[in-house]
Amino acid sequence: MTPEIVFSWQLPTWGLLTVAVAAIGVLLLLIIKFKLHAFLALIIVSFFTAVATGISPGQIVGQMTTGFGNTLATVALLVGLGAMLGRLIETSGGAQVLTDRLVARFGEKRAPLALSVASLLMGFPIFFDAGLVVMLPIIFAVGRRIGGSLLRYAFPAAVAFSVMHIYVPPHPGPVTATGIIGADLGLVLLFGLIIAIPTWYITGYLYGTWLGKRYDVPIPAILSGGQAKDDAADEFRSNPGFGTTVFLLALPLVLILMNTGLNALAGAGIVSLENGTVQVLRMLGETPIALTITVIAAILLLGWKPKKRGNLIETITDSALGPVCSLILITGAGGMFGYILRTSGIGTAIADSLNQLGLPVIIAGFIIAAIVRVAQGSATVALTTAAALVAAVVAADTSLNQVELAAIVLALAAGSVFAGHVNDSGFWLISRFFGMSTTLTLRTWTVGQALVGVVGFVFAFAIYLVGSAF
C-alpha cells in the first residue's frame, strides 16, 4: 500500500502553477541551451520540483523512484521486446519484402497513406506505444526505400495510433470517462470513430505531409543495431515470404484484440473473468506476453527455420537492445517528472479552480482536461480528473441526452491529449525513436498533439450541438 504523501508546506494554486511553469522552463533551458543530457536534466528538475512543492524530504526519493518505476514497468518491456521484433524482421529482410509489396500495391506517393491506414486499424485494439513500436521497422523501411523526411511517413502513422488511443473505446481513457459521466459506451465508440478519422486526416496526414516538406529528418538507425553488427545482419538475411512477415506483425494484434474482446464481453456479462480459460486467454493477450510470444515466433520462423546458427540469433536480438537503452531511461525519467507534478497536487488544484468558472459543461471539461494535461503530463490523469469534476454537474442536469453525454466524454478526451510535452513520457518516446531534438519534437509532435485536441474538440462540440437540437 502506497503511504500517504506528507508535505512540509502547502502552496496555493498560484504557487503550484508557478512551480510547474518554472520547472518546465528550467528543464528546457538545461536541455536546449546547456545541452545537458535529457535523462540527467529530468532527474535534477524532478528533485527540485519535489522540494519546491513541499514534499517531505523523507519521501522525495521514494516518489521519484516510484514515478520512474511505474513508467518503466510498461515502457521497458514493451520497447525492449518491440525492438527485438523489429530487429529480427528488418535484418531477415522481412521489412524489405513487405515494403516492396506495399509500394507496388499503393505506389510511392500513397505509401504514407497506406502506412497510416494500417496504423488506424492496428490502433483500434493496441495502445499507442505498443502499436508504434510494432510498425516502426516497416515505417523505417518504407522511408529508406522511397527517401525523404522521416516525418512524411512516421508522423501520420503515430497520430493514427494517438487518435485511436484517446478517442475510441476499448482504450482505457474513454472507457473510464464513459463510466464516470454515465454515457452510453456504444455511442462513445461510434462518435469516437467519427471524430478520430477526420482528426487523424487533418492533424496527422495533411499536417504530417507539410511537416515532412518543412523538416528533413533522416531515418534513424535506432533499430538497426549499429554498424558493428552489419556482418551478422548480412548472414542472418533470408528474405522470408510476404505471408510470414504479415503473420508476425498480425500475431500481437490478434492476441491483444483477444484480450480486449474478452474484457468487453465480461463487461457485457457474456463471459466471466473468474473462468480459468478466460483468465489464461486474457493473460496471453496482455501486451508484454503478446510481444514475447511474437518475438519467440520470429526467432523460430526467421532464425531456426532457415537454420541460422544459435549464437547468430543471439547476436541479432542483443543488438536491438543497446540502441534503445537511452530511450528507455529518458522515457522513465519523463514519467518520473510527470509523477512528481501529479503527486504535488498541481493538476488537482488547477482543475478545482477552473471548475468554479461557470462555463458550459462541455467547454469547461475540455479546458480543465487540457490544462491538467499540460501541467502534469498524463493524458489518463487529465481525462479522469476532468471527468470526475464535471460528473456532478452532468448528473444534476437531467436535460442532457445520451448524444450530449457521449460528446462531453469525447470533449474531455480531446482536452486530455492537448499539447503533450516534456512532462509526458510519450513525448520522449517519440523524440528518441524518431531521432529528433527536444526543440524539433516540441515544434512537431507537441504542436501536432495540440491540433489533435483542438480539432477533436470542434467535432465533439458539433456532435453536442446536434444532440442538443433533439
Peptide linkage before 170 cis (omega within 30 of 0): yes
Q: What mean pLDDT comes out for the span 329-335?
A: 83
**Could you tell me if 384 and 175 are in contact, meaning their C-beta atoms sit under 8 angstroms apart?**
no
* Cα separation, 428 vs 330, whole angstroms: 7
At 430 the pLDDT is 93
Write down the pLDDT at residue 355. 63
Q: Does 63 score more than 90 pLDDT?
A: yes
Burial 63-80 (b: 16+ CB within 10 A, else e): bbebbbebbbebbbbbbb
- Please name which of 5, 15, 129 lies closest in space to residue 66, comparing C-alpha atoms: 5
Per-residue pLDDT tens digits for 33-58: 888 888 898 899 999 999 999 999 99
pLDDT tens track for 108-138: 888 888 888 888 877 876 778 777 887 888 8
CA angle 421/366/10 to nearest 5° reads 65
pLDDT in tens, 269-303: 888 888 999 999 999 988 889 889 999 999 999 99
Given this model, what pLDDT does residue 2 score?
55
Average pLDDT over residues 203-222: 92
pLDDT tops 60 at residue 229: no
Query: Whose grid coordinates read 437531467?
Result: 398
Residue 55's DSSP bridge partners are: 7
pLDDT at 343: 86
In this prediction, residue 152 carries a pLDDT of 95
Question: How is residue 467 written as a grid cell?
Answer: 444532440
Comparing CA positions, the residue from 424, 398, 411, 414 lying closest to residue 464 is 411
pLDDT grade, residue 227 (50/70/90)?
Answer: very low
pLDDT of residue 1: 47
**Alpha-carbon distance 470 to 457, whole Å?**
20
Averaged pLDDT score across all residues of the chain: 86
- 126-185: pLDDT as tens digits: 778 777 887 888 899 889 888 899 999 999 999 999 999 899 886 778 888 888 888 887
User: Residue 138 and residue 43: Cα distance in Å, rounded?
Assistant: 34
DSSP structure string for 109-139:
TTHHHHHHHHHHHHTTTS-HHHHHHHHHHHH
Cell of 318: 542483443
Distance CA 172, CA 105 (A): 35
Could you read off the pLDDT of 368-380 as tens digits, one per residue?
A: 889 888 887 878 7
* pLDDT of amino acid 341: 83
Torsion angle of the four alpha carbons 305, 311, 312, 318, in this order, in degrees rounded to the nearest 10: 110
Q: Which long-range contacts (CB under 8 A, 24 or more apart) does 298-302 make?
A: 298/84, 298/85, 298/88, 298/89, 298/248, 299/88, 301/240, 301/244, 301/247, 301/248, 302/88, 302/89, 302/92, 302/94, 302/236, 302/238, 302/240, 302/244, 302/248
What is the biggest distance separating any 2 CA atoms in the chain, rounded to whole angstroms? 69
Q: At 228, is the pLDDT very low, low, confident or very high (cuts 50, 70, 90)?
A: very low
pTM of the predicted model, to two decimals? 0.79
